[in-house]
Each structure stands twice: as C-alpha cells, then as structure tokens.
Structure 1
Amino acid sequence: MRLFLFYAVLLSSSHSLFAQKEPSKRRLPDPPYNFSVQELDSVLELAYESYFEGNYVSILQKAPDLIDYAEEIDELQIKTRLRAVLGNAFIQLGDRENAAALYKEALKEAAQRKDTFQFVNTYINLGNTYFDTDEDLAINYYTKALELGKNGSRDPHYIIIHHNLAEIYVKRDQPGKAQFHLDNVISALDDPSITNRKEQFIPTSQSIQGSIYLIQELYYRSIESSLQALENDRDDIDESYRILAYKNLLTAYEKTRQFELLSDVHKVYDSLITNRYENEKIRQQQLANSKYKADRYRQELVNSEFETKLMKQQTEQDETLIWTFAILGLLLLILISTLLYTREKRNKLLKILQIKNAQYLEAKDQSEKLAQKNTKFLSTISHELRTPLYGIIGLSSVFLNDKELDKYDEEFNSLKFSADYLLSLVNDILNINKFESEKGRKLQEEHFNLSLLMNSIVQSFQFLNQKNNNTLTLQIDPRIPEVLYGDKTKLSQVIMNLLSNASKFTLDGSITITVDQKTNDGKNTTLSFAVEDTGRGIEESNQKEVFEEFTQVPATISEGGTGLGLPIVNKLLKILNSQLEMDSTYGIGTTFSFVLPLKIGSKQEMESTINDRDIKKLDHKKLLIVDDNKINQLVTQKVLEQYHLDHDTANNGQEAVDMVKANSYDYILMDINMPVMNGIDATIEIRNLGIETPIIALTAADDLNLERDIYGHGINSILVKPYHTEQLLALLINHMS
C-alpha cells in the first residue's frame, strides 16, 4: 500500500492512495511531437490516466519518445515525471529489473546536472520499486531522499516518504520507528502548502495509527483511530486502507472482549475482502492482457528491428563482397611472398641459434664448474682460517678466566678482541652475499653494556692509532641506559669497520667517536652514532664508489683492506633498520654517522644468560673430544677443565668409535673433517651400535648446506668454530640427560 509519487495536478498511487478511475477515450499521441510546454503538461496528465486505466502497453510504446522530447525542449521536471510513469508501468507488469535500471539511469543524469528535484524523485521511485521485495533497500532509498530534502520544506515528497516508511515499520512490528514517521506526516498536514491534500492523507494516516496502537497493545486507542479513519473515509481512497481499519477493529474488539461488536464489523470486512478479491481477479486479467500485449509489442519491435537490420546487413554485405575478394587476393599474394621470405630468414636464424645454443651450453658447463670450484675453495679457506682463530680465541678466553693471569687481563682482552675482529673480517669475506638471505638478515639480539662494548672496540684500535700518531676519543652520552638489548654483534661490526677506515686513513690527526641519545620512552631508545676523523677525506667524484664492493679509491689502495668495509656497513645497517650518512671534504676529513633504534635491556638478564646452578650440574660429566688438530684439542680441554668436566681425546673418527665401544660418555664433541674416518661416518657407526649419547659437531667449515649434510646422520647439534664458551655450555646443558 505504498504511495507512488507523480507530480502534476494530482498526487497518485498504485493500489494505494487513490482508487482506479473509469476508462477514458483519450489516448497518448504518436510521434513526431511538436508540443508547447503547456501541451506537454497535458500529455503528462494523459499518461497518468493511461496508468490508472491499466493501459501499460500504451505507456511502454509512447513514454520513451515523450521522455526524449521533454529532454529535447529542456523540460526536465516533466521528463522526470514521465520516467516515473514508465517505471511504475514496468513495476505493474512485474518487470522490476527494467524499472530499477530506468531509475538508476535517472540518478546518473541527476548527478551530472546536480538536480536535487530529480534525485529526490528518483530515490522515492526506487524505494517504491523495492517496497514489496526488499524492505532494507527500500528504506535505504527513502532515507537518501529525506537527506536531500532537509531544507525545511514539507512538500508531497516529505509526506509520501514518511508515509511509506511508517507502513514498512508497521509490517516489521517496529511501532516506535513507525510512529516517528507517522508523526512527521501528521505534523506536515498542518502546513498551509498541503491544505488541499490534507483530507486525502488523514484517513490513510489514521488507519496506520490504528495498526501502530495494535502492535503496542493499546487496543482502545487502536479502536478510536480505526473508527476515525472510517469516519473520514473517501470514495477516491484505495480500499486497502479501509480494509486495514476494519481488520484493526476486528483484532482490537477481540482483545478487549467486545464480542457483540465483532459480528457487524466482520460482515463489512468480509464484504470488502470479497469485493477486493473480485476486483483483483479483474485486475489480474487486465494485467495479464497487458503483459501479453507488452510481450507481443516487444517481440514485434524486435522482429521489425531485426528485419531492418537484416536488410541493411545484406546491402552492406553485397557492397563489400567484391572488395573483400579483391583484398583477399592481394593479401594472399603478399602472404605467399612473406612466407617465402620468412622461411629463408628462419633457416638462417635457426643456424645462428644452433651455434649460439652450443656456445651457451659450453659457457653454462664452465660456469657450473667454476661455481663448484668457488664453493669448494670458500669451504676450504673457511676451514683453514677458522682453525687457527679457534686456537687464539679459545686460549685467550681460557687465560682471561685464569685468576693467576688477572694482571694481563687488558692484554688478553685486546688479543681476544682482535682475534674476534679478524674472525669477523673472515666471515665478511666469506658471507658477504649471506646478508641478502633470510638467514643472514636474522637478528641475534642480546642484552649488552654499550659503554663496555665501545671501550673494548676503542681499546683494540689503540695500537694502530698510536702507530699513526692519532688521538682517539670516545664520547658517550651519560643519559644512555647502562644495558641495551639488540644485535650486539652486527653493531660491533659496523663500529669496527668505520673505526678501522678512520684509523687507517688518518695520520697525525684525531678521531672522535660520539654516541648521543636522541629519544627515550622508558622501553626504547634511539641513539646517534658518529665517527669523525681529520684524515685526507674523499674527493666528491669518488664518494659514490666507496660504497661498492671490493672498491677502493686510488689514493687509499696502498693502505690495505678488502674494500668491503662500507658495503658491509650499509648492508648491516639496512638489517638494523638504519642508514649510513657520509659527510666528507677532501683535505679536511670525513664523518660517518647513523641513527639506530634499540630496546632498553636488563642488567639482570645480561648477567644471568647461563644459570650458574645449571653449570654446576655439569661437574665431572665425561666428554669425548674428537679432533685431529692438537691446538683445537688443547683449547677444548682447557675450556672443559675450567668447568670441572672430565674428558678423553680421539685423533680421528675411527679412534672415537673404538673408544665409545670401550667407555661410556655423557657427551661427544665431534670434528667433521678428519683423516682415517670423518665425523659423519664416525657418527653413523656410533649410532649403528645403538648408542644414544648426544653428539655435538664442532666444525670450522661454514657451508650453506652444512645443516642438511649433518643433521641427517644422527648428530644432535652443530657449533661452528670459533665459538663462545657460553654457546658450548648452553648446548651441554640443553642435552643434559
């Protein structure tokens, strides 16, 4: 029972506000048109009449041409109203899809013209389109129309929108929302501009009010409103509202137990229902006839268009057929010539390709062999360099823990730090490309004392700077927390590389390392690092080159180095979420700086990385050291003895297998590359004996495929030499039975 919106002399609805009119003899005119605005307005009234008479086919035939004519003479409001008639005709014929498409096209036009009237009108018509099939969508369109009409005006738009929304919320049993919209209708009826419409809306509003009271179980009020609706009833109001009023009375009388009144109301209600049923049958017959005519009209239109199109196509085909054959003949000649030329060219290219392919296969084979040799070389050089470094680092660590050698702590610290730096340099050379891999980018975060770290780095470069007669100064902001949490190793590599460059390229000058705190929120801090020297500086033309791998500016080649320092720093800082900045003036000096975010660490966590109580559990555990290098044996023995661990030593894998057969061990420390029998074969033999003793591989090799080659043969863990004592202790504690 929604109110459909047509504008002209009358305001109308489909089976809604007004009853259907008697058929008129007047019919919509055929094109072409030459109407004045007044005449076109009269034609609009004819369109309304045709709609109410159920002559939808006539509307489908004539309305599109009338809409085009209204646009041609720039009568946009008449065009909008004619479109509303056409859309509602589609709805009556059950073609809501075409109705919606018509209105949505109208929305696009309204947007182009910024036409608020057309926007409001079209949103209302779209709401009407979906009133019976999609209440949510209908509410959405009505609401959009209301939002556009927020200008204080209470015109027929305003009344119809609120009236229809009130009906929807009654259907949804939402009396509060229904009452809100009905109150807006009743309030608007007092507006002077609506006075001539008031009597048409009063009975429909009172019927809806009766329904709202009924939902609220205010039965006597429902009776009162329904009786008022019937009292104010008009012949030209759709009987659906009259039926609604009687239906409300039936329910309310029954709820208030006024059974004596039910009989008379039932008689009238039944009579109305019967009458509507008969009228609906007639209407459905008329509608079916209209649909049949509409379908027939559409089919005739399609057939006519098809015949016209077919004739036009036939003519065009006849005209182009000769040209087609002529062009095809010409194209055929060109194609044959092209194919012959292409074939000859293809044969030549094929021969060239065969030669190139053979060259490529040969180059590929050589490249693969070179890569294999390179991998083998890197693995060998890695093992050969790490082995003596393991002795230096291991023994220096042992000496540092020897109480009798405390007076040499500074020397041993420098020795160990220098060895660590050399190991770091070896790792940089071997692993420069690993920083691009996921494994290389992984952070190894730990708690550390920044002041101790920086002083240790500075101490390791004192000898070189004394040799070059440089003054080395370290300035650390006292506001920086004592303990930080981050990747200590990568930060050390960055500082050492920058300090190494400054120390090598500065003579009789000064080097200043500055660490300032920029921010601190209690959990995180941001530090600024700068290494400033008064060396020779870098010419502007060479400043980009110094960041390229294995590249040194000509003046610095004699100073030594790999040319990897700054490229490595760049890659490390990228991993640490930072960036290197350079400020250099030739003949004056250079400053390298970067800003690094770090977490604030815990002194307790730093001091208790390994629990002393757990280390105590290792007392007198028996280990078998398997290594062919006497220095490595000595280092490992000294480390174990510091923590009261017992040990035996085997010089190769075969000796290890024999000793395991004869003795029981808590752990086996197994080297990989050994004569007679290597560590992997020895492990396989031991596991074949059914022995489950934890085996930890201690190896100086650092191959990318190390884990894949080792873990599949019964080895429990891997530790790459040189290693920190804490790492070995942690593994022993982890594998403690």
Structure 2
Amino acid sequence: MVRQSVLFLLFFLILQPAVSYSQEKFSQEDILMLQEKELTKDEINSYLPLILELFNESSYEKIIEVSPYLIENAQRLEEQALAARLRSALGNAFIQVDNIHGAEELFTKSLEERRQASDTFGMVSAYINLGNTFFEQEPQRAIEYFEKSLELSQEVADNTIAYFIAYNNLAELYVTINKPDRAQPYLNKAKNLLELHDFNGRKQNFESTVYYVQGAIHLLQDKPREAITAIKKSMEIGGEKQDDNYKINNYKNLMQAYESLGMYREINEVRKVYDALVEKRYESNKIKQEKNATSRFNLNKYKQELRASKLENDLAAQTAQQNNLLLKTTLAIGAILLILIGSLLYGRSKRNKLLQNLRAKNRQYLEAKKRSQKLASSNTKFLSTISHELRTPLYGIIGLSSVFLEDPTLKSHNDDLKSLKFSADYLLALVNDILSLNKYGSKEGERLQMSNFSLDRLIHHIGQNLEFINKKNNNSFHSIIAPEIPNTLYGDKTKISQVLMNLMSNASKFTEDGSITIKATLKKQVGKVNSILFEVKDTGQGIPEEEQANIFNEFAQAENLTTQDGTGLGLPIVNKILKILGSKLSLESSPNKGSNFYFEIDLETGSEEHVEAPFEISGYDKLKGKKILIVDDNKINQVVTKKVLEQYGIKNNTASNGLEAVSMVQENTYDFILMDINMPVMNGIDASVAIREFNTTTPIIALTATNYNNGFNELGKHGINDSILKPYKTEKLLNLLVHHLS
C-alpha cells in the first residue's frame, strides 16, 4: 500500500541529516538504563536511527517501550523539535498496532506545541501524521488533514518533501474512494516533484509508487492498456526491492486489466506469481500480528509504568522540599530523613523485583495466548477439512441410493433404501450447517454478493423445496407479499434466501396439522431504499419464554422440541447472516400457540432487466442420446454419475484427471463436460482453461465438493459455464443440463 511506504517518509527524511552514528540494538539492560539515566542531546540523537531500524523490522513493542523515556529526556533538555521527532516515531508505532486513539492524541499534542512555537514545518509534519493516522479508517478526514498541510507548506522555505507527501497520499486517497478524476491532478504534481528532489536516495522507490497509483487510476477510468503500461513501469522501476504489498497489488491490477482485454492466457501466467506472493505475505502477516499483539500488551503495561514514574517524580519533589526544611533543623530530624530515604530505596528495590516478576508473567501469558490462537486456527481448519471430506462419500451414498430407488428390481428394499437416503441427507444437512457456521464467522463470509432478484419468485422457490415436509406434516403454506414492495429488489439474494429457508424449514419441521405463513411488509421507503419487515409464522408447538434465549445458541433446542430432528445450528446461522446484513432476529412465541420469527432489512429497488431468468424445463427427454464426459478422480463418484445419466439414456465417457480430459475432448465430440475441481496431475480449473483454448462452445459444468465463497463468479473466470455442489439432487443436475442444452 502507498500508506505503508510513504507513512514514515517525513520522519525518515528529517531524521537522516540529524544523525551520524548509532547504537547497537536495544538490550533489556539498555532499557532499564534509560529509566535511570539522564541523557544528553547527542545521546538521544544516537538512538534515532536505531528506532527507524526497529520500525523497519516491525519491532513496534521496542519503540513503544523506549520512546517515552527518550521524549522525557528531550523535554528535560527543552529540545522540543527533537521531542517532536520522537513523538512522530511513537505515534506511527501506535498506528501499526491499531491504537488510532493514542496516535491521534500524540499528534494533536505535537501540533499544538508546534503552533505555540510558531514552527510551521513542525505543524505541516503534524498534519501529515494525522492524515496518515486516519488514512484507512476515515479517508475523508485524512484528506482534510493533507489539504491543511498543503496550505501551510506555502509558508515553508524548503517545502518539496512536504508537498510530495501530501500530493502522493491525496492521490492514493481519491483512488481509495473511487474518484480517479480528483486523484490524477495530485499525482501529476507528485510526478513533477520527483524531478526536483532525490529523497535521500529513495527516489526510485517512490517513483515506482507513483506509477503504481497511476495504474490504479487508469483502471478506475476503464483504460486497461494504459493501466498495463503504468503497472509494468512500476514493477520495472521497483525491481526486486519493491515492497511485497506493491508487488501483490500491481499483479492484482494487472490481472484485472488483462481480464478487461480478454487476455486470459496472460492472466493465468500472472496468477501463479500473484498466488506465491499472497502466500508469502500471509506468512509475514502472521509474524507481524504476533508482534502487534506483544506491542499492544506492552503499550498498556508501559502506560502503567509511566503513571508510576510520574508518581515517583512527585514524591521526589516533595522530598526535596522537606530536605530544605530539614537542613535548618536538628540532626535528629536529619536522622529521620535518612531513615525515610532508606525506606524509599527499599521500596524501589521491591518495586523492581515486582516488575521483573510481572515481565515473566507477561511472557507466560503471551506464550499461552499464542498456543491458544494456534489451537483455535487448527480446530477451524480441521472442521472445514473434515466437513469437506465428508461430501465425497455422501455423494456416493445419496447418489447410489437414489439410483437404487428408481430400480424396479429393488422394490422390496425400498424402505431400507429410503432410510439409508434419509440418514445420508440428514448428515449432509449437518455438514452444510457446520460449513455455513464457519463461513459466516470469517471475513470472506461477511462479503456481500449483490444482485437483482424477484422476491415473489424467491419465496415461491423456497416453498417448493419445503413442499415434501409440509405434505408429510399435513401443513398448509401461505405467502403474503405487500403490493407496495417493488417487483425487483437489489441485495444479497443468497444470504436472504438462506435466512428465509432456515426459518421456514424450522417452522415446517416443528408444526403438524397446522399452517406456515411468510409475510413481507413495506415499513418505510426513502428514495430507492425499502425497509422490509419479514415474518415467518407457524401454528406449531411454540417455545416457552424461559427457553427462548437458549435456542439462539449453537447446538441448542428447546426442551419440548428435542425429539425432533435438527442440528441446533439453524438459528445461530440466521443470526450471523442477519448481523452481516445489518439486522437482528426477534421472536414472539407461546406454548401450543405457535411462533413468529421476524426481522427488518433495507433492500434497494432493483432493475427487472438484470434479473436472472428462471430455468424453463420442458422435460428430460431432450437429453436422451446426448454424450457427456465425466471428469472425476474418484471411481465411486464416476459410477454414481454414470448410473444417474444412464437412467435417462445419456451416453458418457470417464476421465480420471484434467490432463486426460483435455486429450479426450481433443479427440471426441461431447455435448457436456462434468468437471471435478480437485484432481491429481491437472486440476479442473487448469483443465477448463486448456480446453477453452481450442473449444469455446461445449458447456463445462463443475461438479465439486468445495463450497467456493464467491460461487460461480470464482469459477466462471476460467471458462466454466456453471457449477453444482456435491452431493446434489438428480433433478437439479438434469435441469442444469436441459438449461444449457437450450
């Protein structure tokens, strides 16, 4: 990111001319010495390059530990400019450990001191530091600080450095908020300043940064060819020394530009380098997060130490006043004074021992915290892996049992086969719930996937899915959609569908000989934003008031409902999704009277032109005689898919990996390709890319046990026409084939 590179530019450039020698790295003895010794100006200056080195090594905890003592010495010597530099270093360390409030407080204080001292350049520095503080969290506020620095820079004699920082960061900020036309003028000014200053030998680094921002601007302006030129220039200038964050963003922008131009081969080449850099950054970020955790802890600890130090200074001042009085009194009072000093020394020794014990306890705490975080991460990975691995055998069980149920020679075993399929379906529901719970607890799961959709069609589809269980429990189903609600809405259709599906499924499951009603009411409309109240009512068993809070916990059910099938994960999943959508689930229920689950969300009015048309299925006879290539490394999966297709007269061949599939498509003609994703030799994504180089018409449908976060959008980039998650219902696969056939 630009902020990471330019953030400390001002501090670095001010620091370099001021020092000519440095210390060895801080040891624990050095830190203890700083607490006791009064330093000279030269001694303080000798620590400045070491502080810069500590920052480059991400040792923020050391900066936070040492800087307060150096600042205290600089203030004692009335070296306010030197104290301002140290505050800049400390404040920037605060930023890196996400202590934005601490950084703001420090820089605001520095700004006020520089204003009282009529130090214009110091005020410019403070405004730039404040701009960097809010760069990511509050871009508009950061813009205001950088513009103030530009106003003041006119009063500074040598203002090239300050101008460059402000121009460069303003350009980056306007790119961040998608205003390329506002960003370009500032970037042009930054480019011009590069010709006037060498920035203490770092000109090449900042020139590569400027071209990176230029590439981002061209992308926002829909100029992919110009973007490619600027990005390659940035990478050429930065070379191997270019910061990994710049490299990753350059490669990411390059892939986006290639995609705009349909240059898919180039995307494939760039992605390999991009994935390697992302993996490298992931490992680096783990180390940095561990250091940040230590830094945050040290920050709180040394705030306490500074307060203790202030108290000690106050006591020393009081003792000095008493000494002046005691000098005029008798030797007896002097003896009392000696006793008092001895007591203070003893207390100090005791305090130092206590601090040593506290540091030892802190180290133990950090080690325990690290182990706990590692265990939590391992548990999450294990849960996701085992849930994924369960899908493959479940596909075999569900698929074969469905085939056997259609076999007239096995009618005598129908009850056993139905029991087998029911058990497998139940286990699949549990796996899906566990994956959903994991997914919506992650950052990827919190990402919204917006689209236009018909609410009436969505609710009708959910009702069809629950038709079997409602017939089984003798329930009637009703939907009431207020006519004021627009026909087409714009929002995250997938998340809304999962919320309603879970609530309506629960209602159908726990209601017998009753009714299920879903109601949508327009509560408020402001412009294109519609506030819609959704209610799912049933006439089932109801939930006692004392148990209503418990049912929102994971794996929990009300006591009167424990005899019913269910994982106890449905409502926790609903709550997590609604939190992402900015809403919350509420409940009204009474025993033997039923329940009403309701929530309110804001959805924009959508465009009917962009609503995905529903499948129009006229029969599966169209598929008879068609030829399909089944690509799957699992022999059981091959058998299941073959038997399903052969029931409907569909011819098929099989391939056990992507490379074999590419060869078979070159030698034969197929109407469809069913492609697994995770395979040895060559995976499904690489195989699809290779096939699309010589065959762009045959539909490729991904059959995979992996639930991708971005769904089809993630696979569609590689030439895959559609996807279906294993295990699946036979009708869903057949409908998909008929849809792509037409």
Same fold (TM over 0.5): no
**TM score, norm. by length of structure 2:** 0.39
TM-score relative to the length of structure 1? 0.40
